[in-house]
Amino acid sequence: MPTPKLSGTEVEPNISHPQWAHEALGDLVISKDALRERVEELGELITTEYRGRPPLLVGVLKGASFFMSDLARVIKLPIEMDFMAVASYGSATRSSGVVRIVKDLDVDLTERHVVVVEDIVDSGLTLAYLQRYLQARKPASVEVCALLVKQGQQRAPLELKYVGFTIPAQFVVGYGLDVDEKYRNLNGIWCLKNKADQ
């Protein structure tokens, strides 16, 4: 199934900014309806491909929390869930490349099928580190399900089995994505005004 690619100019008509965030937001990048539809498609794929071997979903906090919650509800398998927290951004808009594990997993990964659930992949440095870290714990497999991938920004070789959307290299917020812990609770994904992707 092809990954949807968005130009950043595909703004849906008659959708205005939420009033409380109006001053901060630019164009709508992905609507709540498009998010819901794509998450359902990803859930169907995972259900089909992991039938008979239910995976452990590993959510990367905090950004992937909304995505993982919705994804888990549409996977028709007895999955398990756990979370990790890694730090690499601070208040910057681009990963520093220096990764620190803030919260580790509570479960043993030995011989488990693991699906890492990420909100967004830009440089890929954090995710590459995380994949190596998890592989060292002897799982049966490790795959990645990323909601968003920024086009042309990857600085590390990555194999992403499931991708929600490929977007232009712009800073976005909503549906779990934040800037300085704000705007995670937007129900769509929006560009942020006056925030360069740097």
- 113-134: pLDDT as tens digits: 999 999 999 888 888 889 999 9
Note whether residue 22 is domain-resident: no
Note whether residue 11 is domain-resident: no
**Cα atoms in the 13 Å half-sphere on the side-chain side of 197:** 14
Note whether residue 176 is domain-resident: no
pLDDT above 70: residue 62 = yes
pLDDT band at 148 (very low <50, low <70, confident <90, very high): very high
Report the 3 state secondary structure along 32-53: HHHHHHHHHHHHHHHHHHCCCC
Note whether residue 190 is domain-resident: no
Residue 122 annotated among the catalytic residues of the structure: yes
Note whether residue 184 is domain-resident: no
CATH of residue 73: 3.40.50.2020
34-57 per-position pLDDT tens digit: 999 999 999 999 999 999 999 999
Note whether residue 51 is domain-resident: yes
Sheet with 113-121: strands ordered across: 100-103, 80-87, 56-61, 113-121, 141-150, 162-167
Higher pLDDT, 8 or 68: 68
pLDDT above 80: residue 64 = yes
User: Burial letters for 88-104: b for 16+ Cβ neighbours within 10 Å, e otherwise?
Assistant: beeeeebbeeebeeeee
Choose, from 104, 122, 178, 180, the residue flagged as catalytic.
122
Residue 169 tokens, joined: 């290299």
Q: What sign for the dihedral angle of Cα 101, 104, 108, 112? A: negative
Residue 144 belongs to domain spanning = 35-167
Q: Provide the domain count of the chain.
A: 1
Q: How far is residue 118's CA from residue 120's CA, in Å, rounded to a whole number?
A: 6
The size of the chain, in residues, is: 198
Higher pLDDT, 39 or 198: 39
Note whether residue 125 is domain-resident: yes
Q: How far is residue 160's CA from residue 158's CA, in Å, rounded to a whole number?
A: 6
CB-CB contact of 147 with 67 (8 Å): yes
Distances (CA, A) of 122 to 29, 33, 41, 78, 127: 16, 24, 22, 31, 9
Q: What sign for the dihedral angle of Cα 187, 196, 155, 138? A: negative
pLDDT above 70: residue 17 = yes
pLDDT above 70: residue 20 = yes
Note whether residue 97 is domain-resident: yes
Which run of H or E residues covers position 73?
Answer: helix 65-74
What pLDDT score was predicted for residue 152? Answer: 73
pLDDT above 60: residue 147 = yes
Tell me the whole-structure pTM to 2 decimals. 0.85
